[in-house]
Structure 1
Amino acid sequence: MVNDLGNQYETADLLHSAAVRLLRRVRVVDAGMDLDGPRASLLSVLTFGGPQPVTRLAEIEQVSPPAITKLVTALEAEGLVVRERSATDRRVVLVTATAAGRQRLERGRAARVRAVAALLADASPEDLSALRHAAEILARLLTL
């Protein structure tokens, strides 16, 4: 099955615009986490992805190793992450979210989900079903 390139591009454009507006809308609740975007993103990677080496975190967050080290240091100072040597390779430093870090991130995520749910409050059951299906498709495509 061949995708219609024009339709694919138009859909991508609509989806991009909607995603940007959605993130702007829910970003206002992030103040409750008391973390800026880069630190919240890094904490999310560690909370949902588990311990990661510093070099891998730099790759995931698309920043330089010195920049990720600075973010890790800031989160560590707040007690939200810890650095530990890998048990299998002592040269590797793993960064792990602490219980306090996971709680803060999960509290922030819950606030964002509540904000999105409030946005969807007036959506029809059909629209909610379509959005759920679209979200499932995106989640699947993003794991490929």
Structure 2
Amino acid sequence: MIAIIENKQQIAHLPAVKEKLNVLKEAVEDTQEHLNYSTDTDARVGHKTADSSFFGYKTHLAISDERIITAAVVTTGEKSDGNYLQELIEKSKVTGMEVETVTADTAYSGKNNLLYTKEQSIQLISKLNPMITQIGRANGKRI
């Protein structure tokens, strides 16, 4: 279809047609790219935000203050980041790191991680997960 429209120069140069043709070309390219990725039977669809997804894997990293990687866990794309905090800390300890403070994003501030870091006397610096901050609220009202 793209080739047919591009061969009809009188049609292909119309602004409305040209715009829709570009959208179609992008969609075909994206589909081709996903078809190439989909041959990996272990990869999964993950989400960075509610609106953006990716197909593949995640690398969960622990990094020292000097920006040295002290631990890594690779998972399929759909795995939740927060589930790997304890493993990253334990792997870092095995390398000889003394873990006193962990700075992480919201995904790592779930209840299990808060309890674990408290038990281990580790300071967890992270914006609280909305699931925790919304406990005891119904329809925006404190109950």
Give yes or no for TM over 0.5: no
Find the structure with the greater CA-based Rg.
2
Looking at secondary structure, tell me which structure has more strand per residue: 2
More helix by share: 1
TM-score normalised by structure 1 residue count: 0.28
TM-score (norm 2): 0.28
